[in-house]
Amino acid sequence: MEKMIACCGLECTACPAYIATKQDNDMLRKETAALWGRQLGVEVDPESISCDGCLNSGRHLDYCAICRIRPCCREKNLQNRTQCAHSMCDILKSGLVFLSEVLEMGHLEELEAKKILIS
- pLDDT tens figures, 54-81: 888 888 887 777 788 888 888 988 877 7
Mean pLDDT in residue range 88-108: 68
Kindly state whether residue 2 falls inside one of the protein's structural domains.
no
Q: Is residue 38 part of a domain?
A: yes
Compute how many other C-beta atoms are within 10 angstroms of the C-beta atom of residue 99. Answer: 21
Q: What's the domain count of the chain?
A: 1
Instruction: Give whichever of 51-60, 82-91, 93-102 has the largest mean pLDDT.
Output: 51-60
Cβ pair 77, 112 in contact under 8 A: no
- Do the domain assignments include residue 105? yes
Is residue 1 a part of any domain in this protein?
no
* Residue 7 included in any domain: no
Q: Following CA atoms 24, 79, 62, 19 in sequence, which dihedral angle do they give, to the nearest 10 degrees?
A: 20
Domain hosting residue 81, numbered range? 12-118
Instruction: Confirm whether pTM is higher than 0.85.
Output: no
Cα separation of 62 and 57, whole Å?
A: 14
The answer to the question of residue 6 being in a domain is no
